Structure 1
Amino acid sequence: MVVVGASAAGLATVAALRQQGFGGLITMIGDEPHLPYDRPPLSKQFLTGQWGAERLLLRPESDLKAMNLDLRLGVSATAVDRSARTVTLAHGGTVPYDALVIATGVRPRLLPGGHGRGGVHVLRTREDALALRDRLGNGRRLVIIGGGFLGTEVAAAARQRGADVTVVESGAEPLARIIGRAAGRFITGIHRDRGVRILTGLKAETFDTADGAVTGVRLDDGRILPADDVLVAAGSVPNTDWLRGSGLDIDDGLLCDAHGRCAPGIHAAGDVARWFNPLFGRAIRVEHRTSASEQGIAVARDLLTPATPQPAAPVPYFWTDQYEVKVQSHGYLPGHEESAVLDGDLAEGRALIGYRRGRHLTGVLAIGMPVKDVRPWRAAVARRTEWAAATSAPTPAR
């Protein structure tokens, strides 16, 4: 077994393979020099300084040793030869495989003119987070381009460190494309109450620089935002460039069936993979930590028991902390056709919002609600509850 990507999805795959009794050789290839670590805390606890690097590890080093892996870190995979069943490495060597799992994740989307400029940051790796953390402090001016989950989480962390923060969002409200305008306005209010400037309906056009370092961001309305640092949080791109020429089906990620299969002998999992999910009737790519682990486990099961396939139809889950407010989501929210508050009241800072696509409840978003109160709604999404039933009952049947 060869797993490309020392990621949450990759590690979940190899751990499940061992737990389910696979005793053969497992090679894991990762382009970073670190043992597999968790990325969500990079924009939260690690960025604020509450956590050190050791707390990011997905598994202790002793656990990895017990898995008896051929662990190759700090080396990139550059190609797949499907006929020879080999993976080519950046230093020129190759690794043969009987089965290949691709878990190479995503990379930040860059903006023209920002790459290589001092003070212009992205946030994907441990080094990225350290570089930004070292620059944050009282009065430091941070401009964040992009008001998605990453951008808003970093805004909260930066304010906790005393930075002066401005978020530039091209949409009507931060996160509105995913969670809708009402919930987006609520998130906006949380940040504005804590001194974050949020500018909506605007785009960053260019960076002003002096001596190779950023000094400001020029917006498309002509104004200039002074900046000591800029975080580009304008989305991500699946890491599939190395697969060009492989013949694999790539379209906003690596296309897979409901088992994670991309081609004979090849599976994919995690942020790079666009799985067909029977629950929603289409292929979706989900950049959530929980989904990465669930897909890795499903891939391991399919590799070991191909004669008895079990299509995976997980309910995607994510959570985010916006200061002291916890936001949780179950289901698939992008592309929803309607939303409605099913419980609570946004004005009171406690609400559960349902999302419809077609005739069914396809997702819920909980703001300021206990986890136990949200679980029944996850089950309601999994049952493909009719929208009419979801909006007529105060709480779904358990």
Structure 2
Amino acid sequence: MSSTPGIVVVGAGLAAAKAVESMREAGHAGTITLIGEEPERPYERPALSKDYLQGNGSKDDLFVHPEEWYAEHDVVTRFGETATSIDRDARTVSLASGDTVPYERLLITTGSRPRTLELPGADLDGVVSLRRIGDSDRIREAYARASSVVIIGAGWIGLETAAAARAAGLPVTVLEYAPLPLGRVLGDELATYFADLHRRNGVDLRTSVEVTAITGTDGRVSGVRVGEEEIAADLVIVGVGISPNAELAAEAGLEVDNGILVDEHLRTSDPAIYAAGDVANAYNSTLGDRLRVEHWDNAIRQGQLAGRTVLGRDDTYDWQPYFYTDQFDLGMEYVGRGGAADDVVIRGDKAGGEFIAFWLDGDRVTAGMNVNVWDVNDDLRALVGSSVDRSRLAEPDVPLTEVVTT
């Protein structure tokens, strides 16, 4: 048992790494302990379904900090150890090893895990999901051996792994329950654009379908059943969303609802405990609503914010959500929180693949997305929440700084 209570961070992902970095940059000299169940030090996940999955870049490129950084900054690391419980009265975290770590303040950054399918055959060898470095390694190795790939789910992970499989020269079938991929996020027009992108690049994208079973022989996957049809597959990737790892917090009696409930300062219902990253269902002071955001940018920003608020600063969660993707010849950045029911205004050459899309509620911009148009995302972020002249917004020759009406 450690004898020096300090700041303890449970969960050693990107948000945790940025929180610890932020604490040291702020001049905090006290004890910091970083606990993570993975044996790896904190790393960034986006490349796991993009460049790294396609064999571009090395494993070393994924890590947030060099290996020696933690010792150089006096961070006690407990990698490969699982936190099993929190005793809020004693202010301790118990580990599976039997050790107990005391804390003055606790930051929970336990992230999320892939959802699983409750289907016959879901546990067959060759049915995989993607969340960790080892998952990406296994899928990349499987791409080298596979003759056919089926991906269940056409969200961001599903579409990115489909693009990687096509880059590896594999036939790919993507199965999606909804009428369009990403429809709930992008709305029909832009969801159709992504569907067409994949079909043009040889993906057999099937929507409005229901998977009823995964089939196999001798414990190994051989196909996926949709209705009466069986689609051959020797690799099945499941990408049907993720769930927050909030059980540790719930068992400790913290308020949990689709993640750990925190305020705009990332404080939980216990004033000594904070949460950040995928696991945090946080109040956004700009949007006036709770958000649980599962993207890279949010992990960085919330980690940095948590590093400051754990030290007593009064900073707030007030930024617009951001994410990006790379698929085939498409690179995209999205900022804001548009809705499927919002109107969409296109600026630029959508048919040619270089354009900006805006989502509007009335004349107010709720989100913007630049597709193969670069160095404009800061301008889009500045527009989100503003009322604009729609006709000028759609005109490429009008500077984005001159479209705001109020």
TM over 0.5: yes
Structure 1 counterpart of 2:106, from 77, 87, 100? 100
Judge conservation of contact 2:297–2:323 (CA < 8 Å) in 1.
Answer: yes
1:115 positional shift: 4.6
Judge conservation of contact 1:390–1:396 (CA < 8 Å) in 2.
Answer: no
1:272 and 1:396, CA in 2 relative to 1: closer, same or farther beyond 3 A? same
Distance 2:82 2:172 in 1: 35
Letter in 2 for 1:282: D
1:117 and 1:138, CA in 2 relative to 1: closer, same or farther beyond 3 A? closer
Unaligned runs of 5+ in 1: none
Mapped pair 1:89 → 2:90: no
1:317 and 1:89, CA in 2 relative to 1: closer, same or farther beyond 3 A? same
Distance 2:109 2:341 in 1: 31
Distance 2:400 2:340 in 1: 20
Output one character per residue of 1:229-277: Cα deviation in whole Å (capped at 9) or x when no partner. 1000000000012233312111111111111111211111111111111
Corresponding residue of 1:320? 325
Distance 1:237 1:229 in 2: 23
Output one character per residue of 1:315-355: Cα deviation in whole Å (capped at 9) or x when no partner. 2111100112101101123x453131241142221222222
1:164 positional shift: 1.1
SS where residue 11 of structure 1 aligns? helix
Judge conservation of contact 2:343–2:361 (CA < 8 Å) in 1.
Answer: no
Question: How large is the Cα RMSD of the aligned pairs?
Answer: 1.7
Judge conservation of contact 1:174–1:187 (CA < 8 Å) in 2.
Answer: yes
1:58 positional shift: 1.1
SS where residue 101 of structure 1 aligns? strand
SS where residue 22 of structure 1 aligns? coil
* Residue correspondence of structure 1 range 7-22 to structure 2 within 5 A: 7-22=13-28
Runs in 1 of length 4+ with deviation above 3 angstroms? 113-116, 356-360, 388-396
* Residue correspondence of structure 1 range 209-224 to structure 2 within 5 A: 209-219=216-226, 221-224=227-230
1:63 positional shift: 1.9
SS where residue 328 of structure 1 aligns? strand
Q: Which moved more, 1:92-101 or 1:6-15?
A: 92-101
SS where residue 89 of structure 2 aligns? coil
Corresponding residue of 1:123? 130
Corresponding residue of 1:352? 356
Output one character per residue of 1:31-85: Cα deviation in whole Å (capped at 9) or x when no partner. 1001111111011111111122111111111222221111001111111111111
1:98 and 1:367, CA in 2 relative to 1: closer, same or farther beyond 3 A? same
Judge conservation of contact 1:138–1:162 (CA < 8 Å) in 2.
Answer: no
Letter in 1 for 2:318: A
Judge conservation of contact 2:49–2:136 (CA < 8 Å) in 1.
Answer: yes
Mapped pair 1:305 → 2:312: yes
Corresponding residue of 2:371? 367
Letter in 2 for 1:154: T
Mapped pair 1:248 → 2:251: no
Judge conservation of contact 1:342–1:391 (CA < 8 Å) in 2.
Answer: no
* Residue correspondence of structure 1 range 44-193 to structure 2 within 5 A: 44-112=50-118, 113-137=120-144, 140-193=147-200
> Number of aligned pairs?
390
1:391 positional shift: 6.1
What is the TM-score of this pair, normalised by structure 2? 0.92
Letter in 2 for 1:385: S
SS where residue 250 of structure 1 aligns? coil
Corresponding residue of 1:330? 335
State, as a whole percentage, how many aligned pairs show the same letter. Answer: 37
1:183 positional shift: 1.1
Judge conservation of contact 2:183–2:340 (CA < 8 Å) in 1.
Answer: no
Corresponding residue of 1:272? 279
SS where residue 150 of structure 1 aligns? helix
Corresponding residue of 2:4? none
Letter in 2 for 1:31: E
Distance 2:102 2:390 in 1: 51
Distance 2:205 2:211 in 1: 13
Corresponding residue of 2:400? 396
1:357 positional shift: 4.8
Letter in 1 for 2:46: P
Letter in 1 for 2:285: P
Letter in 2 for 1:347: A
Structure 2 counterpart of 1:30, from 29, 36, 48? 36
Corresponding residue of 2:288? 281
Distance 1:29 1:72 in 2: 5
1:189 positional shift: 1.5
1:2 positional shift: 0.4
Distance 2:312 2:361 in 1: 34
Letter in 2 for 1:376: D
Unaligned runs of 5+ in 2: 1-6
What is the TM-score of this pair, normalised by structure 1? 0.94
